[in-house]
Amino acid sequence: MPMPNRIWRLAPVALFASLMLVAAVHAEEHSAMPVEVLAPIAPTPVSVGGATRLFYELHLSSYATHDVNMDELEVLNGDTGAVLTDDKGAALNALLAHPGMKSPPADSRGMPAGGIAVLFMETTLPVGVATPKSLRWRLRFSRLAPADPKNPKPDLPPIEGVTPIDGRAPITIGFPLPPGTWVAANGPSNTSGHRRSLQVVDGRARIAQRFAIDWVKLGPDGRLFHGDKAANANWYGFGADVLAVADATVSAAHDGIPENKPSDKRAVPITLVTIGGNYLILDLGAGRYAFYAHLQPGSQRVHVGDKVRRGQVLALLGNTGNSDAPHLHFHVSDANNPLGAEGLPYVFASYVTAGKANFDQIVASTGWKRESGKPPTVRRDSLPGEDEVVEIP
């Protein structure tokens, strides 16, 4: 939820979900590889940064008595069999994480005996090809333990499975902020801090912030602040109106947490109660909830149970909770809980993308400038990707 640690990178947090066993591709072909593969959600196709993408995870648990190494992961179109991605060798390091491991190895492909790992997947669907009903995948492993010449074991076949695709369209919403130039910091990508943040709440692991964005405002000089950056009031977004993204009902609210000063220090200890600072949740209907975090104390103009209209002012942008500079953390999830939920995709009907922010630049005196020869582009029914510069109409 904090901002990019290129300023002080907004330290996002997220969770896992209840896991469903991934179906075998061919019942007659079995693998005795002692690694269990589970999938938390069926991904929904969503337009991000101008392409249709699927964000999902594969959770691995090793039941082996020896270390194993992941060698290759193929993802195929479940309808046609066409290969969508094929990651081999060191390229897998960009996808893998080892939750709970204090010092992950530089090469994360190795799974120790009894270990766990998570594969963070992003699959881009080709233009002009119908969305398949499922994705097929194939995982190949090798043994890291020394072979026993007295008891040789043959190479095991790969693990294969199917991940279904949720064909429902993402909800279309309005912007949570007024017109201006804003940066979608930590926005949807496979490397975003929000995407990779895992946390367990009430005994269940989920990723609440799978599609979260930390909105920070650019001023006329292309910077995030003017003067002393240690003063909240000098940040261009501080005090901006925070708006309802749809006709909805206020389903949760928290207030009374003091402002942080822009830095890596917090005004209060960070817990599950304080992590979002002063926040609001809107019930959008159909099992979707909009979460607004880090609001100014005492600025909320609505209460739990209130009906709100799209575009209505809810509160003011602040710097509370797990936040290192003024910004609005926003995401949509499947439960009335800041983090105990699965993050759901959503899209904006229309916006203008003006390029991508370089955080060293927008903090420095040079500021962000449009790239010459690259005019702004109108995107419809889409989400901005990580660090996209967005002009809200």
Digit-coded pLDDT (tens) for 37-63: 999 999 999 999 999 999 999 999 999
Overall pTM surpassing 0.85 (yes/no): yes
Q: What is the pLDDT of residues 84-108, one digit of tens each?
A: 999 999 999 999 999 988 887 888 9
The chain-wide mean pLDDT, for the chain, equals: 90
Say which residue the tokens 């591709």 belong to. 25
Structure tokens at 93: 């390091």
Q: Return the pLDDT at 151.
A: 60
Query: Is a pLDDT exceeding 90 seen at residue 145?
Result: no
Q: Return the pLDDT at 365.
A: 83
Whether the CB-CB separation of 119 and 190 falls below 8 Å is answered with: no
| Listed residue (358, 384, 385, 386) closest to 371, CA to CA | 358
For 75, other C-beta atoms within 10 Å of its C-beta total: 21
Q: Would you kindly state where each structural domain of the chain is located, as residue ranges?
A: 20-164, 173-392
Query: Is a pLDDT exceeding 90 seen at residue 8?
Result: no
Task: Identify the weakest region by mean pLDDT among 85-89, 152-156, 180-184, 299-303.
Answer: 152-156
Rounded to an integer, the average pLDDT of 144-172 is: 79
Query: Cα separation of 39 and 229, whole Å?
Result: 43
Q: Return the pLDDT at 385.
A: 95
Query: What is 173-392's CATH number?
Result: 2.70.70.10
Whether the CB-CB separation of 337 and 297 falls below 8 Å is answered with: no
Q: What is the pLDDT of residues 277-328, one digit of tens each?
A: 999 999 999 999 999 999 999 999 999 999 999 999 999 999 999 999 999 9
Which residues have a Cβ under 8 Å from the Cβ of 333 and sit 6 or more positions away? 208, 288, 289, 291, 341, 342, 343, 344
Q: Return the pLDDT at 66.
A: 84
| CATH level 3 topology of 20-164 | Immunoglobulin-like (2.60.40)
User: Which of the pair, 25 or 281, is modelled with greater confidence?
Assistant: 281
Chain CA centroid to CA 293, Å:
15
Amino acid identity, residue 26? Answer: H
Beta bridge partners of 161: 137
Q: Return the pLDDT at 104.
A: 77
Question: Percent of the chain scored above 90 by pLDDT?
Answer: 76
Query: Is a pLDDT exceeding 50 seen at residue 21?
Result: no
Query: Cα separation of 34 and 25, whole Å?
Result: 17
Q: Return the pLDDT at 32.
A: 81
Concatenating the DSSP letter of every residue in 207-218 gives: -TTTT-EEEEE-
Q: Return the pLDDT at 153.
A: 56
